[in-house]
Amino acid sequence: MKHISSNPLALIGFIIIASILLLALSAPLIAPYDPNAIDVKAILLAPSATNLMGTDGLGRDVFSRMLYGARISLMVGFVAVGIATAIGIVLGAIAGFYRGWVDTVIMRLVDVMLSIPTFFLILAVIAFLTPSIWNIMIVIGLTSWMGVTRLVRAEFLSLRNREFVLAAQTLGAKDARLIFMHLLPNSLTPIIVSTILGIASAVLVESSLSFLGLGVQAPQASWGNILTDGKEYIQFAWWLSLFPGLAILLTVLGYNLLGDGLRDAYNPRSSQH
């Protein structure tokens, strides 16, 4: 925490993320309207006292939709990254710990996955399956584990020859114990950094998928689909674009600032003057 507070940008990032998380969690409490409540007489109204962020093409309150959309967009980020990190940790640990042919096979698999343009892969898979929120989370997760794998593997490779590991091995510690009790805890920070940055990317990917019609589907609100719904009215209903756009911007910015700040703090050499 000391690291964060000494870096004003990371602090800003942290505040942004905390605020958005708070808003998302308290959505059911503070949302003034039901996000799916249609009112055909209130189509495309500008922001006012009754509708803080205006209404959309079906008369639904944008502010309420934004709050619930926060939950969806963030959930997509968390779950997708969770999947990616889980896969990455497992594969990276195995590759870094056992090395040899296991390592080669896993790294070649990483190469194969990296040779296909990621967005193309996500696009193709989601278009071929149905664009449900679970498919989106799983697919983003299944296409972003490569970075984590490399990270974990690199950490394990460098840590594995340290004295504490050798000591534990001499004492007869089994592989699993070594991995979970010694190596993994010491590799945690880069994993956390990568997770934080991954959430930001996942939120952006969801909004891109929404633009192509493959994101979270109606009537569920997500920032991506509110933004996409409003794109044809950008000259007129500016509120349909401004608020979700800003929300995505701030969220992704916040995660990046925090993640970058943590990475700076962790890297011993860059913090010297």
Partner 1 sequence: MNYRCNQTALYKRTALILCVVLTASCSDTSVPQANNQPNYSQNYPTSEGGTLIDAMTGEPSGLIAMIAGESAASAIAGNIFNSLLKYDRNLELTGELAKSWDISADKRTISFHLKPDLKWADGHALTSADVLFTWQKVTDEKTRTPYGSDFKLVTKAETPDAQTFRVSYEQPYAPALDTWAGLHILPKHLLQDQDINTTAFARKPVGSHYYQLDNWKNGQYLKLTRNPNATQGQAKITHLMSRIIPDKAAQFLELSADNIDSMGLNPIQYARIFPAKPELNKNIALYKELGNSYTYLGFNLKRKPFDDIRVRQAINYAINKQEIIDGVLLGLGEPVASPYKPGTRWSNPLLKPYPYDPNKAKALLKAAGYADHDGDGILDKDGKPFRFEILTNQNKEREMTGVLIQRRLKEIGIDANIRVLEWASFLGRFIKPKEFDVVVLGWSLSLDPDQYSIWHSSQQGPGQFNFISYNNPRADELLEAGRLELDADKRMKIYHEFSKILLEDSPIVYLSAGYGLSAIHKRVRGISNPAPPAGIGHNTYEWYIPKAYARSEMSEH
Partner 2 sequence: MLKYLIKRFLWMIPILVGISLISFFIMHLAPGDITSSEASFNPKASEESRQKLRELYSLDKPVIVQYSLWLKRLATLDFGTSFASHQRPVFWQTTDKDGNVTLGMIQEALPITLLINLLSLILIIAVALPLGVVSALKQNQLTDRAITLFVFIGFAIPGFWLALMLMYWTGVQHTWLPISGLQSISHDHLPWLGQVLDTLKHLVLPVFISGITGLAGIALFVRNGMLEVLHQDYITTARSKGLNENRVIYGHALRNALLPLITIFGLSIPGLIGGSVIAESIFAIPGMGKLFYDAVLMRDFPVIMGILTIGAILTLIGNLLADISYAWADPRVRRGVVQ
Rounded distance, CA 163 to CA 261, Å? 29
Which candidate, 266, 264, 267, places its Cα nearest to that of 256? Answer: 264
Nearer to partner 1, 135 or 189 (CB): 135
Minimum separation from the CB atom of position 227 to partner 1 (A): 11
Q: Does 4 bind partner 2 (CB under 8 A)?
A: no
In the shown chain, the binding pattern of residues 178 to 217 toward partner 2, with x for contact by CB under 8 A and - for none, equals: ----------------------x---x--xx--xx-----
Question: DSSP letter string over 28-67?
Answer: HHH-SS-TT---TTSTTPPP-SSSTT-B-TTS-BHHHHHH
Nearest CA among 167, 39, 43, 147 for reference residue 92: 147
Size of the site for partner 2 (CB under 8 A): 48
Of residues 119 and 164, the one with the C-beta less far from partner 1: 119
CB closer to partner 1, 155 vs 229: 229
Judged by CB under 8 A, does residue 101 bind partner 2? no
Rounded to whole angstroms, the Cα distance separating 160 from 146 reads 21
- Smallest separation, CB 217 to partner 1 (Å): 5
Distance CA 240, CA 247 (A): 12
Among 175, 177, 231, 236, which residue sits at the site for partner 2 (rule: CB under 8 A)? 231
Among partner 2, partner 1, none, partner that 43 touches (CB below 5 to 8 angstroms by kind): partner 1
Q: Judge if the upstream peptide bond of residue 219 is cis by omega within 30 degrees of 0.
A: yes
Q: How far is the CB of 87 from partner 2 (least distance, A)?
A: 16
CB under 8 A, 24+ apart: contacts of 46-50: 46/237, 46/239, 47/239
Quick check: 127 and 213 in contact, CB under 8 A? no
Shortest Cβ 213–partner 1 spacing (Å)? 5
Amino acid sitting at position 260: D
Provide the residue type at 270 as one letter. S
Sites of contact with partner 2 (CB under 8 A)? 7-9, 108, 111-112, 114-121, 123-125, 127-129, 200, 204, 207-208, 211-212, 224, 227-228, 231, 234-235, 241, 245, 248-253, 256-257, 260, 267, 269-270, 272-273
